[in-house]
Amino acid sequence: MTLLELCNPLFLQVCFLSRSARSGGTMTYSRVRADIEDLFADMRSKAAKERLLEAQYQAVELPLIFFVDATISELDWAQAREWQDNRLAYDHGQLAGDERFFDLLEETLEDRSRDAAERLAVFYTCLGLGFTGIYDGRLDELQRKMMQVADRIREFTDADMLAKICPDAYQDVDTRDLIQPPGMSYLGMGIALVGLLVVVFVSVFVLFRQASHDLTQSLDEVMSHRVHEEVQGAGEGETSGVNEPSPGEDRSERGKSTPGERSESNPKTVGSHD
């Protein structure tokens, strides 16, 4: 068993806790604490079976504790604050794990042995899973540090950077190109646009004809009503012209009659005089 294989269950558990916190899963502080402590106890037990592996594990146990404390304390989890107040590192007398992690990393980088490279693979995994420590907000410096570590652990990582992590996941996969050529979509969009323009033009034409018809009908009604009023006004003017005197005629003269007219109108009066 390699050192990285020994630590792998712990990394998987931290990833599981991170996913559960993001999805709103229910996790109690006591259960999480017990699971993490059981994993550390299991790693110590397995490492004790091999002398070299035990020495390697003892060299990376503190960095692993610092990694777990920092990751769980930063989770979006109701009990994250409680974990922050009761870090595992406090049980080992470590109060500045974020800084101590990189001190141990520098010491390991200075060691050019193969065993040190194997321990660096554990450090690299912690950094790859999001541990930033004192480099929080200084990602450029952290990336340079990771590149230094990556140069030393090629033996413990895949040489082919393009290799599939899970080849089984690619079996029975439909590899056909299901994306339609862009020309087909453009043609469809063009046809739809032309159809839309035709509908708009027809609608405008129909509305224009209807509005023109309504306007013409309204104008005809207005003109007919006006002609009727003019004809009616002319008839009333002729009638009033017959009955009314002219402006220069004296109304008193119209009331008088000549002597002949009076005698004709009253013949009995003339005969009696004679």
- How confident is the model over 64-84, as pLDDT tens digits? 999 999 999 999 998 899 999
Domain ranges, ordered by start, for the chain? 3-159
How high is the pLDDT of residue 234? Answer: 74
Positive or negative, the CA dihedral 136, 138, 140, 144 is: negative
Tens of pLDDT along 202-247?
Answer: 999 889 888 888 888 888 888 888 877 777 777 766 665 555 555 5
pLDDT tens figures, 98-151: 999 999 999 999 999 999 999 999 999 999 999 999 998 898 999 999 999 998
Quote the CA–CA distance of 135 and 49 in Å, as a whole number. 36
- Give the model's confidence band at 269: pLDDT under 50 very low, under 70 low, under 90 confident, else very high: very low
Mean pLDDT confidence for 143-168: 77
Q: Which CATH number fits domain 3-159: 1.20.58.190, 3.90.1150.10, 1.25.40.590, 3.20.20.70?
A: 1.25.40.590
Distances (CA, A) of 77 to 24, 35, 82: 8, 16, 10
- Distances 120 to 42, 56, 106 between C-alpha atoms, Å: 21, 11, 10
Which tens digit of pLDDT belongs to each residue from 2-30?
Answer: 999 999 999 999 999 999 998 888 889 99
Residue (of 94, 102, 81) closest to 29 by Cα position: 81
Contact 149, 107 (CB under 8 A): no
